Copies of this chain bind each other. A is one copy, B any other.
């Protein structure tokens, strides 16, 4: 095998004291998912504990009568147990019970049980009840059929190569890893659907996609595809893709009938329409709702859903135009349509109004949309956060987003409340992450980037987990429980996002990256471009005025957020330059001027990277040599890159402002 199993690469624990539970596994049911649960427990027991578990099949009629049970583990389907993928694990008198209303719960419980062993936790007296908060917990892969990955930083696709779909051992191992952290939906192809990818819905790919869907299903994962809104033209030979045209509707209905017959386990489709050159309903003067609903009708007979991205904006903006504001786009396009979407349509909303920057406010659509299914889209592919060459653990960012109070009601108004469905009593909702995996032997290029994959799944399942808890979990599963390792790795992870923010673009302004590849500093890289991403820096200050005097974006938030963002004095400082043009001499709450804050934070960011390297250095003998070296190499590059960021940003602002650094450090 030319790849590791990441956090499922089990280490042998010869001294683990509670092996005995694993001698016998009692199980009802022989469905695919339960079989996977059995397989996972047996595999864990064998690889970690060296035990060959005896599997005892129980008749389905055997009920709850605990008097009859013997020592061992019981996988027990209980219609009164936790549902929706939830599970209960408890130990009682030498017996470990994993109970759930559905097989998915048994699978997740089994992974959790093994995780407890990996983490060397005691099982005696164990009592866990876990119910996933988000109904949909999805990964979006931006994989192309030629094997490349858009914004992929970990090698090639393991789903596609040379226009073929790949289904094999790696597909199954991928499904194991994803399911182990609770992922239950996967979009395998790029949202930019062109050329051959348009044909994924045709019979040409039916056999391989059906097989992939089956592999996924065994692990409780639904297969989804991205689709091309112009398929009626490109595949069907129609003259139009107008969602209101009868022939278009009929074409989609016929095509979906065929597609779902070909791939029975298909969950539905992800659609990027009217964005960055992709076709969509706007071409035909139709609304986004008309486009989405038309597709929703076509997939409805098969239980399919349409996940419609809200990433719609004018990408041919004139940089001279200070009125148009890309940050407003999603809100302006979709807010008026609240309530117009069919029940099997879900709007997938990026966490912020721009595009996965290191710091953005939360999208104002959250809390504003009350009659629409919503998925929160985040990006664990580190497109703008170091591209898996820099360590940047993003779970703390996601936690902040989930915890944001939208003020849509007095309580239970956070993003987490909304996307779980409980705020507005909706069922089709959840979280999606743009995936960070590829064919690299460690799946994620940077070994520490696997914490983002792991963490996203765990967080989507259980948003109340803290970022530190997740880091520790991942670290213990990946590197074992050595306290020094866990301490250092967790510290590295928890330092990493703040460090990245310090040495890159300041206080929410974002961008300042090289165009196209989005890597490395270029302060003016997007300043005079068409993408609506400006910093407006001049001799006296920097920032985009998004209050009432500017683009008015601050007013798209519910009160009191709108008022808080409206004024520089009340605006959270980490977002200050996102919402306001601020003079370099403006005094921050820290008592530093803005320009001094820029200088200081950039020096600090580099120092943080040096600390991170120091922490990693201390693990030389404590983590596998291959991983140590691989991470070390990337950290050395990160240091060099962070120096480049520091010096370019500081030089840019010094040359522009001519305000010297108070501490007299070298600025070029």
Interface residue ranges, A against B (CB under 8 Å):
319-320, 514-515, 521-525, 528, 537-540, 644, 647-648, 651-652, 654-658, 668
Contact = CB atoms under 8 A, between A and B. Distances in A.
Q: How many copies does the complex hold?
A: 2
A668 B318 CA distance: 11
Nearest to A643: B320
Contacts of A514: 515
Contact of A656 (B521, B539, B644, B647): B539
B539 A668 contact: no
A537 B657 CA distance: 12
A646 to B, nearest CB: 11
Contact of A538 (B320, B528, B644, B655): B655
B668 A537 contact: no
A528 B652 CA distance: 10
Nearest to A536: B655
B655 A528 contact: no
Contacts of A655: 537-539, 656
Nearest to A655: B538
A538 B659 CA distance: 11
A186 B538 CA distance: 50
A605 to B, nearest CB: 17
B539 A320 contact: no
Nearest to A514: B515
Contact of A528 (B521, B537, B656): B521
A319 B667 CA distance: 12
Nearest to A647: B320
A528 B539 contact: no
Nearest to A667: B320
5 residue pairs, one from A and one from B, having the closest CB atoms = A538-B655, A539-B658, A528-B648, A524-B524, A320-B668
Contacts of A668: 319-320
A319 to B, nearest CB: 7
A375 to B, nearest CB: 36
Contact of A658 (B524, B528, B540, B654): B540
Nearest to A516: B516
Contacts of A525: 522
A27 to B, nearest CB: 59
B528 A651 contact: yes
22 contacts: A319-B668, A320-B647, A521-B528, A522-B525, A523-B524, A524-B524, A524-B652, A528-B644, A528-B647, A528-B648, A528-B651, A537-B655, A538-B654, A538-B655, A538-B656, A538-B658, A539-B539, A539-B655, A539-B656, A540-B658, A655-B656, A656-B656
Nearest to A651: B528
A657 B524 CA distance: 16
A515 B515 CA distance: 10
Nearest to A539: B658
Given A528-B647, A540-B658, A656-B656, 17 more contacts: A319-B668, A320-B647, A320-B668, A521-B528, A522-B525, A522-B528, A523-B524, A524-B652, A528-B644, A528-B648, A528-B651, A537-B655, A538-B654, A538-B658, A539-B656, A539-B658, A655-B656
Contacts of A320: 647, 668
A62 to B, nearest CB: 69
Nearest to A322: B668
A539 B648 contact: no
Nearest to A537: B655
A655 B525 CA distance: 16
Contacts of A648: 528
A544 to B, nearest CB: 14
Contacts of A651: 528
A523 B527 CA distance: 11
Nearest to A529: B522
B647 A539 contact: no
A619 to B, nearest CB: 31
A540 B320 CA distance: 24
A668 B538 CA distance: 10
Contacts of A524: 522-524, 652
Nearest to A666: B320
Nearest to A538: B655
A73 to B, nearest CB: 59
A320 B647 CA distance: 9
Nearest to A656: B656
A658 B319 CA distance: 19
* Interface-central residue, A524, A537, A651, A658, by most chain B CB under 10 Å: A524
Nearest to A649: B528
A539 B657 contact: yes
Contacts of A656: 538-539, 655-656
A265 to B, nearest CB: 43
A523 B522 CA distance: 11
A37 to B, nearest CB: 52
